[in-house]
Structure formats: structure tokens, C-alpha cells
Structure 1
Amino acid sequence: MRKLKLSLQAEILKAKNSLAVWLSLIGTAGIMLAFFFMLLFGTENFVPAADEDPWQHFYMVYYEGTAFMLLPLFAIIMAALVCFIEYRNSMWKHLLISTVSRSHLYLSKLLFTYLLIAVSHLFFMVMLLLSGVLLGMLRPELHLLETFPDLSFLFKLGFKTLLSVGGMLTLQFWISMRFRSFIVALGVGVIGFVLSSLLVEGWKHVIYLPYSYPLLYLQEMYLAKTMSIVEIYSLIYCFIFVGLGLADFQKMDIHA
């Protein structure tokens, strides 16, 4: 455990000012800015109903917008980018001859990728609250300044978001580690996501596709529970794909 912690710390230090970090922060800020102006100049459709909590309505506008496309694509890009950086910089031959075991290398990079997504999402939640206050001042009809923000519902959304993306992320990370090409890893992820988005409304077995979970968890029947079948399946897939990825990485012949 200590070696894994040191490997993770090394990943964090190495990633300082890296493209992955800046992309996660700038991308999140750009998304928030786009949604802010959409609500600022939007139609009356964004105004909550009289019996609806204005903050919960506000949260769902953002989360439904990002969950359908931006969250899955963001996770796919982050996984591919973290792995591709090592190939691009020809670092694998140095890493594999170090005293750090392959399992620690794999897990530390995977944990770093998950941590990067978690930090980006925390940044998203903070900016969500700030933009809500500002929109409440600029658009009083949204009623956002009439009540205190429902933080428990926001934390629930954040918790479910990070759990729902786990199964897809661990699979995508394994694929990104297996293939040297950034385009191949990205392409496989996009195909998985597009296929899931096409099947999410009409196929009863879509619950078994890990790429579908970021699209499913906001549906009312899953959102009502703090830990729904979507998050449970995502965790199960997470353990399966981590195990398969570790086993594959132990045997992988990597040429930097």
C-alpha cells in the first residue's frame, strides 16, 4: 500500500502543468460558461415550476446536459490521454525497469485518472453553485436567491456521477493502456458511447453496457436511490476490468 501511495504521489507530481490537468480544468470551465450563458439568455423553459425546488431544477439542467455527452467523452479522453503521454514521451522503458512493480504502475495511473475526473467534478460543483448565485441575481424569475441551495441533493448527484463513470473508465483505461495509439483508444470509447446512447431508450438489456451508466443514472427510477442498480453494476464492472487490466498489463510487451 505504501508503494502504491508513493507511485500515486509521483503521478500527481509528474502531471503538474500537464496537458491532462489543464484540459480538465479549462474544459470544465468552458462547459460551465456555455451553460451559464444558455440559462442567462435562455427561454422560459429553464424557469422552474411553482411547486419545484429551484436549485434542484437548476442542478438537473446542468447535469442532464453534461451526463448525456460531455461526461462520457471527458472520461474517455482523460483515460486515453494519461496513457498516451507515456507512449509519446517514450517513458515506458524507464518505468518498467524501475523498482516499481507493474501492478503499482497500472493502479497508480488508473487512480490518478479517476482522481483527475473527481477533482474536475468538484470544480464543476463549486462553479455550479457560484453560477447559480450569479444567475439568481441576473434572472430573478429562476428563484435561485429565494431559497438556500440544496447541498445534499448536489452531493448526491456528484456521488452518483463518480460511481456511474467507474465501470466505463476502468474499461477505457485498460483499452488505452493496451493500444499505443491515442486515436484507437479514443475511437473504441466513442463507438461504445454512441452504441449505448442509441440503445439506452429502446433496449431492455442496456443496463449491462458500462458505457450507458452515465446516461442512465439521472433517470428518475435510478436517481431516487442514493445507490441504484446502475452504480452497483458500475462498481462490479470496475473490479472486473481492474483485475483483467492488471493481468493483461503484467504480460504486456510494451515498446516505448
Structure 2
Amino acid sequence: MMFKKLFSFASAIAVLATGAHCQQLSYEDSITALAYGNVATNSSSVGEVWLNITGFAADKLPHIQNDVGIYTLDNRETLTTIAGLAQVAAQQGQWGDIVFLYSAFAMNGHSEYFNASSLEMQQALLYAVTDQTRGEVDSTLIKLYASTSSSEYLTEAFENLKSDTSSQSKRWVKEACSSAHKATKSACRTLLENVKGNVTWKSGGPRSICKSGCCISWSANATFQVQNLTNAANYCLNACGTSSVSCEVWGVKLQGTLVDQCLSNRATGCT
């Protein structure tokens, strides 16, 4: 299968993992390959790369208005390609593509996060449609990004955010990141994979759930489904630190009971 060459840097994008040899991809095919996670990326190039977003339409990208620069130790060529794709997306008004590419770039173009259905990318897409001041998910943005995505996989990922808006909306008093008792984010993502969608009922003590080196704990006995811990924990993962996290959120509602909820490397101390 041959692909139309739209820009000179397209060859830097990874080949389709199922392909027999290198093929240059069109813009649309590049987005599809990335969103499907069906690529193998360069992992040996070092250097500084910027994705310049300043000046892009503020009404279309209200929560993405800051340039991102990365000094990468392993992925310069892939990041350069992503930045180039984002420029093409801006020229074409493909706002959903920009959100996706911006998110992939910010995560160092790490190939395991490319897939639009990965936990890391789902969190990043959700963050891009959420007003962090009010903790509200903007359904209008979800619709806009779904309709301006070049890949059906990406469109589906945005549309799937709609079904989660009632449970994902942030409803608490305040939150704070801490420098003490930090857990590695990789361990916390593993924990969240087990919590998200877990409909098991929890009541009384112990007031903690841990996996690997990460724990979610809460300040008072409550009766709730475990999946209700996801929203505040996701916020902490997105808002605190780069590779590690320690965070407390006050006033989390666990199916009627208000508690303080923590994400850290220990099962105690959330008060």
C-alpha cells in the first residue's frame, strides 16, 4: 500500500508495525497510525525540541495555550515529527488532532502512550477538556475535538469521554501536591488501572487501597464503590510532579460521604 507524501519530515514518523518495509505516510495516515498505537518510534536520538502552541485559537484550545519544550535523551526525531504534524493540524483546523499530538509530545512521544485508548492518553485527553478551576468537563469541547480528529480511533476516544463526564467531574473543596511521601507515577497508574471501573463495594476499614508502591487512602469510613476513588486520584496524577506524586484532595464525595482522599506511597496519614 502506498501513501501520499505531504511533508518532508513524514519519513521520520515510524513505519506501520505490520509493514514489511519503511513507507512514508500522509498526514491523515500518520495520525491514524499514532492513535492506533501501531508504530515503532526512534528511541536513540538526543536533543531539544519544542512544540509551539502559543497563538493557536484560544477559543478552540482553551486549556492548551502553553508551548512545551523537552530536552529528550532518547526521542528527538519522533518529537520533531509530532511538532511538525501539530503545525499541519493547526493549518487545517484539526483541533482534536492538536490535542492528541500535544498530549503525545508532552509525554516525550513515548510509544506506549500513543494509543488513543491507553490510560495515559485517556487521562491527557480528559485533562484537555476539563476546566481545572471549576473541575467541569466541557461537552462542547469534546464534540469539537471528536469532529476535528483525522482518525476514527481518536474520534472514538473523545466520544468515550462523554459517558464519563458525570463521574469524572471534579467535585471537592481543594487539593494540594506535597513533596513528602511521593509514589512513582508508574506505580500509581498500575493502581488506577485496577480501581477504574471496579464496582466492588467498600465499607469501613481499612481506609486504603494499595498496589505496588502506590496507595489511595481516605480520611473517614464510607460505603462506596471502589471506582469512585478514580476522579480525585486522576487529578493528582495529572496535576502533581513529573515522575512521582504525593497529593491530598479535601471534600471528595464518596457516594454521599465527604472525605479527604490521598495518593502517595503510604496507606496512612490522610486526615
Q: Is this a same-fold pair by TM over 0.5?
A: no
Q: Name the structure where strand makes up a greater proportion of residues.
A: 2
TM-score normalised according to structure 2 size:
0.25
Which has the bigger relative contact order, CA under 8 A and spacing at least 6?
Answer: 1
Higher-helix-fraction structure: 1
